[in-house]
Structure 1
Amino acid sequence: MLRFVGAGASHVGLVRDHNEDAAYSSPYLALVADGVGGAAAGEVASATAAWVVAATARSHPDDDPAVVLGEAIRTVVLDLHRGVAADPDRTGMATTLTAVATDGHRVVLAHIGDSRAYLMRGGQLLRVSHDHTFVQALVDAGDISAEAVRTHPMRNVVMRSLHAGSGTEAEVQPDIAVLDAQPGDRLLLCSDGLTDMVEDAALAPLLGTADPAAAADALVRAALDGGGRDNVTVLVLDVVDDPDAVRLSADGELHGAIRDPRNVVDPGEHQHP
């Protein structure tokens, strides 16, 4: 039975005064959410997304993870709408979401925004998520090079996110796909506070540290050494096959904004993750 074994770390960074990232990890679900920069109540949006997805997955342990993630994301959007209705100061709040879930047989990725997921196998690192950003659209169209993204003045403009606005359905539609994940692979989920500070080529040596907790700490330290201009959150997860495992609804680890239930829209509406 496939499951995740790993560790995470989150840091406010060297410039921001509070953490708008939220992360959750358990043997069968892991996610990173990042409140969209410049929007109101980013910590509420990210914590609510993390809480709702974790609670939904925990309450449906035997269901198809693609279906569970899709349903959870629809619930997040509804909760964000309710959060704005309850407090108009939250108008415009939005968050990215990058999540992986397994039913013990396959691993499913759900992704929206510019947080990222990577898979490392045999020392080779592959990005398995696709940024929903203005600059990535320019790269896809062949208008700029991938190398130009890091210095482009609009590099942080997110085109798709989970939000409570009145945008089109496409703007809140995540990518959901089955990953080619195998026992022995290592997954990295991270906010752009890491990837804006550390180039992809520098990630693999740090991620290759044997102990997941040490790897997570090394990645955060690299982001801080690179300038720490944003909150930085990472989850380092080893994919393992445990044929004797009995799937249980286990508690997960909370990182960042989700650690404070006051950041969650109506946490009592959902099972504690």
Structure 2
Amino acid sequence: MSQMPQLSACPSCEEPLESGDLFCGACGYDLSAVPARPATSPGGAAAATGQPSEWPLAPEADSSDTPAPTHLPTDLPGTDSAGTELAEPDEYPLPAPEATAVPEAVPAPEAAADPRTAAPDPTPPGGTKLCVACRSGRVDPDGYCENCGHAQPRERDHMEQELDTVAAVSDRGLRHHRNEDAFAISAAALPDGSPAVVAIVCDGVSSATRPDEASLAASRAANESLQGALPRGTHPQQAMHDAILSAADAVNALADEPTSAREHSPHQNAPACTLVGAVVAGGLLVIGWVGDSRAYWVPDDRSGPTVRLTEDDSWAAQMVAAGLMNEAEAYADERAHAITGWLGADAYELEPHTASFKPDRAGVVVVCTDGLWNYAEAVDEMARAVPADAAVRPLHSAQVLVGHALDGGGHDNVTVAVVPFPYAPQGAGSA
């Protein structure tokens, strides 16, 4: 028996072989069928790998009539690894139906991430404010999403505050892109130790520049002025008058602040707002206002009349006062809400309005912007909108009134303060 040629690679798949191999360990090629000195692989390519350097190159042969070498898989049924037929069992199982096997995808090994080209971490650092619309973009300092440009809810879009006997709610409404209203509520002690309650509501003039800043500055300045004057014993009506002047000074100061691209004089279309305020102290109710924000008196038992305590500084009010139109005609006119008095550097001569009342029964004062009274203008409408328990649940009542305006359409910012009268000591009558 002649000795088998020693090959270093399989002639079929070129897998490296070891000395003494009878079959290729990779493809099962029968190495005993290999000619002594193959010049080409079964596919016709030169089998140069492992070929001795002294072997001459064989001329290219025509293999069209040469049968292909036998290829016996190692798992071929009925044979052993050498191709010898095995004894057939007594009961040979029927072959299973052919099925096309779908090889499982083998995931490619992941390459190590290059820190220089890796995408940024989608999780922003702690404290980063994300857009409420797209939930991915960061919010810039001006309150807009850097990704989709959506304006973000601002702190002033909805505000609520409650003290023992006064509460206020402010809401952006359903049509405006920001809340240009502001309020301030507080309590103070008079020189005799009796309490005083303060509520200030301001409405920014939308046609002016920076109306939201104007309303905020005015409400804060008026409240601070009253907090300083009332404990010193200043009469509440005088204190209210002075507070309105302080608010006007604060709004005027905004017009004098330098701006980067001002194309008009500082007092042209300057920041502006309206103001209405109420003080309950020593059995006295004092109201002060400039513009068309209003105050209403609503008795608890509703046996007495509901009364509007303010007169608008508006075109409609002037027409009615002059006898040129009745109230229905004046407020139906498109010029009805054009205000004739406001706080601001470009306002006409400022004339703060103040009034003092001594109610003979318990009730509440509703201090509000036109965002509410546009939906409850008549006194009987306001009386129906105010909850019956407003005196003991002022915050709930303010929430209900804001909801009344939103349900009516919410075309404007809405701000409401509810002040019970007379003042109840802390803990008395609380809900």
- TM-score, length basis structure 2: 0.52
Q: Which moved more, 1:143-152 or 1:185-194?
A: 143-152
Residue in structure 2 matched with residue 264 of structure 1 by the alignment: none
Per-residue deviation, residues 213-257 of structure 1 (Å, max 9, x unmatched): 222122111111211110001111111255x78xxxxxxxxxxxx
CA contact (8 A) 1:113 1:131 kept: yes
Residue in structure 2 matched with residue 24 of structure 1 by the alignment: 184
Task: Compute the RMSD of aligned alpha carbons.
Answer: 2.2
Task: Work out the CA distance in 1 between the residues paired with 2:375 and 2:245.
Answer: 31
Task: Work out the CA distance in 1 between the residues paired with 2:295 and 2:419.
Answer: 11
User: Is residue 51 of structure 1 aligned with residue 220 of structure 2?
Assistant: yes
CA contact (8 A) 1:198 1:226 kept: no
Task: Work out the CA distance in 2 between the residues paired with 1:168 and 1:233.
Answer: 25
Q: What count of residue pairs does the alignment treat as equivalent?
A: 239
CA contact (8 A) 1:4 1:26 kept: no
Secondary structure at the aligned position of 2:165 is classed as: strand
Task: Work out the CA distance in 2 between the residues paired with 1:101 and 1:132.
Answer: 21
Structure 2, unaligned runs of 5 or more: 1-162, 188-196, 427-431
Question: Of the candidates 327, 350, 356, which is equivalent to residue 178 of structure 1?
Answer: 356
Per-residue deviation, residues 117-174 of structure 1 (Å, max 9, x unmatched): 0001241311010011001111122222222344320122000111112x442xx211
Residues 163 and 125 (structure 1), Cα distance of their counterparts in 2 relative to 1, 3 Å cut: same
Large movers: runs of 4+ above 6 Å: none
Q: Could you tell me which amino acid in structure 1 is paired with residue 395 of structure 2?
A: A
Residue in structure 2 matched with residue 15 of structure 1 by the alignment: 175
- TM-score, length basis structure 1: 0.80
Task: Work out the CA distance in 2 between the residues paired with 1:52 and 1:149.
Answer: 33
Residues 104 and 86 (structure 1), Cα distance of their counterparts in 2 relative to 1, 3 Å cut: same
Q: Could you tell me which amino acid in structure 2 is paired with residue 224 of structure 1?
A: L
Residue in structure 1 matched with residue 277 of structure 2 by the alignment: 99
Residue in structure 2 matched with residue 257 of structure 1 by the alignment: none
Task: Work out the CA distance in 2 between the residues paired with 1:231 and 1:38.
Answer: 14
Residue in structure 2 matched with residue 73 of structure 1 by the alignment: 244
Question: Of the candidates 188, 202, 207, which is equivalent to residue 381 of structure 2?
Answer: 202
Question: Of the candidates 147, 152, 155, which is equivalent to residue 328 of structure 2?
Answer: 147
User: Is residue 40 of structure 1 aligned with residue 209 of structure 2?
Assistant: yes
Residues 7 and 40 (structure 1), Cα distance of their counterparts in 2 relative to 1, 3 Å cut: same
Secondary structure at the aligned position of 1:156 is classed as: coil
Secondary structure at the aligned position of 1:131 is classed as: coil
Residue in structure 1 matched with residue 316 of structure 2 by the alignment: 135
1:193 Cα deviation (Å)? 0.5
Q: Could you tell me which amino acid in structure 2 is paired with residue 238 of structure 1?
A: P
Residue in structure 1 matched with residue 407 of structure 2 by the alignment: 225
Task: Work out the CA distance in 1 between the residues paired with 2:258 and 2:373.
Answer: 32
1:4 Cα deviation (Å)? 8.1
1:103 Cα deviation (Å)? 3.8
Q: Could you tell me which amino acid in structure 1 is paired with residue 257 of structure 2?
A: A
Task: Work out the CA distance in 2 between the residues paired with 1:161 and 1:168.
Answer: 8
Residue in structure 1 matched with residue 340 of structure 2 by the alignment: 159
CA contact (8 A) 2:252 2:271 kept: no
Task: Work out the CA distance in 1 between the residues paired with 2:348 and 2:405.
Answer: 34
Residue in structure 2 matched with residue 191 of structure 1 by the alignment: 369
Task: Work out the CA distance in 2 between the residues paired with 1:173 and 1:26.
Answer: 25
Structure 1, unaligned runs of 5 or more: 246-273
Question: Of the candidates 283, 296, 300, which is equivalent to residue 118 of structure 1?
Answer: 296
Give the strand-richer structure, 1 or 2.
1
What fraction of aligned residue pairs are identical, expressed as a percent?
27
Give the helix-richer structure, 1 or 2.
1
Task: Work out the CA distance in 2 between the residues paired with 1:87 and 1:10.
Answer: 30
Residues 114 and 205 (structure 1), Cα distance of their counterparts in 2 relative to 1, 3 Å cut: same
Secondary structure at the aligned position of 1:5 is classed as: coil
CA contact (8 A) 2:280 2:422 kept: no
